[in-house]
Each structure stands twice: as C-alpha cells, then as structure tokens.
Amino acid sequence: MTRAISAELRKFLTTRMWWGMAIAIALASGGLALLFGLVLTSSSVQDQPGAATTDLQLARTVFTGGIGLVYLLTLAIGVLTIGAEYRHKTITSTFLATPHRVRVMLAKIVSLLVIGAGYGVLSILVSVGVGTAVLSAKGHDAFADPAIWRSLALALLVLGLWALIGLGAGILIPNQVAALLVAVGVAWIVEPILGAVLGLVSWGRDIVPYLPSQATSAMLGDTGNAFGGGPSDATTLSWWAGALVLMAYAAVMAGVGSALTTRRDIS
C-alpha cells in the first residue's frame, strides 16, 4: 500500500501541474487575504451593522477568505488525478503495475488527502502572513482567540475533501475536459445559484446549509456575513456538523467512483 501511495504522489510531483497550482494558490491566498484585510478593517465597513468586528471574526475571515477559490483548484486536481489517466491511457498500465484495483483507488484517495493538505499548508502560510501584517497595521490582534487555530486546521481538511469530490467527478465523467468543466461549473456557478433560489422559499432554507459550499463555510466558521450584509435567514451548521456533511459528500463521490473503477472495463 505504501508503494502505491508513493507512486501516486510521484505521478503528481513529476509533472509541471504541481508547481503551477502552487503558484496559483499562493497568489489567490495572498491576494484575497490582502483584499479582505483592507476592506474589512475600513471604517465604512466597520460602521455597518453585523460587520465582523471582533479580532477572531476578522482573523478568521481574512485568513480563510481565499479558501473559496483554492478549493476549486484542489477540486480540479482531484478531477485531473484520474481524468489524465483515462485521457492518456495510462490507467491500464497503472492497474497492471498494481493489479489490485481497490488498493490503487485507496492510494489515490490517500494521496489526494495529502496533496490537499499540502496545498492547504501553503495557502494558510501565505494568507496568515499577509493577513497578520494587515491586521497588525490596523491595530488588531490576529491571534487573540485560540479558536482561530481550529479554523486553520479545518481549512486543511476542507481542501483534501474537495480533492476527493473531484476524484469522484473525474471517474463518473471519464472525459477529462468535460469532467473538469462540469465539476468546477457546478461548484462555482450552479450551486451558488441553487442556494440563492432555495433561500427564497421557507422549505429551501432548511436545505441550503447542507450544500457543499455552505458546509465548507460552516467548517471554517464563516457565516457568510463578513461585509455586514445583515444576518442570514438560513440556518448555519456548527463546524463539526459542516465537517460531517462535507465528509459525506467526499465519501459518496470517492466511494461510488472507486466502486465503478474496480468494475469498469478500461481496455
């Protein structure tokens, strides 16, 4: 099993994608931390009712503000991990080298969790560095409340779980380009629109918190009200409930995808 995991990590690290994604994640995390830090500490935002005013609220929003974009990149990594194998016909040699398909899929799952966590560390280091500088310059203590460490730790889990969701999407849609477009399109466009529509009706508000992006926000402690737009009518899950919901999505997508791969004819 260790060799299979090592092989999956080597496949990823021997391509140019890993450092390209690293640069994109670093720029997104740093840029959004800077933007959120400057905007949220401005007097025009701070004077609005419901704005993030405590040091914990500010630090949590600034440090994790880029996760909403970064998890789309780890989602894409999950899709490409299996999609590239189907596209370049290397899936056959992979299963020949390790004839136990279940072991191969477990190795892919573990490697994606490691890759997601690794990118999470990079994202947090950059966003915390930039965000702390901005908040300190504005007179705020970024680490005044120890609860911020829980949000940062959960950010690592978030990125790993979204990578597994991408893995499932890549298996369910064997065409790599189609899988990438569908997965990112649903997560970035379709789901937010669906959440907004469901939020307009009373019964829909009970469903909204269980959407993947809302579960992600709950894990990070983001109520979606950083700019003081007023309290949301939708119920917000606790951080542990959000974690369970997102893990359920990842387990279903990766589990169903892995089950199909172990039975699918790939010749």
Please name which of 136, 216, 142, 12 lies closest in space to residue 208, comparing C-alpha atoms. Answer: 216
Specify whether the CB–CB gap between 166 and 79 falls below 8 A. Answer: yes
Asked if 67 and 216 count as a contact pair (C-beta separation under 8 A), the reply is yes
Contact 218, 209 (CB under 8 A): yes
Flag whether pLDDT at 4 surpasses 50.
Answer: yes
Q: Where does the pLDDT of residue 227 fall: very low under 50, low under 70, confident under 90, or very high at 90 and above?
A: very low
CB contact at 8 A, 81 and 127 = no
Sign of the CA dihedral running 211, 216, 217, 218: positive
CA distance 61 to 138: 15
What is the C-alpha to C-alpha distance for residues 78 and 197, in angstroms, rounded to an integer? 28
Q: What is the mean pLDDT of the chain?
A: 86
When pLDDT is cut at 50, 70 and 90, the band that residue 243 belongs to is very high
Q: How far apart are CA 13 and CA 2, in angstroms?
A: 16
Cα diameter, the chain: 63
What residue ranges in 191-234 does DSSP mark as E strands? Answer: none
Buried b (16+ CB within 10 A) or exposed e, 245-262: bbbebbeebbeebbeebe
What's the pLDDT band for 70 if we cut at 50, 70, 90? Answer: very high
Residues 91, 94: Cα–Cα separation, whole Å: 5
Only one residue has tokens 């933007």, namely 35
Q: What would the two tokens of residue 135 be?
A: 């908040």
Is the pLDDT confidence value at 120 over 80? yes
Count CA atoms closer than 13 A to 155's CA, side-chain side.
30
* pLDDT value, residue 220: 87
Angle at which helices 212-220 and 147-172 pack, to 10 degrees? 160
76 vs 260: CA distance, rounded Å: 20
Query: Which whole number is the average pLDDT over 47-53?
Result: 64
Cβ(197)–Cβ(20) under 8 Å? no
Band (pLDDT 50/70/90 cuts) for residue 97 is confident
Reported as a pLDDT band with limits 50, 70 and 90, residue 25 is very high
Which amino acid would we find at residue 179? A
Q: What is the pLDDT of residue 47?
A: 65
CA triplet 67, 65, 170: central angle to 5 degrees? 20
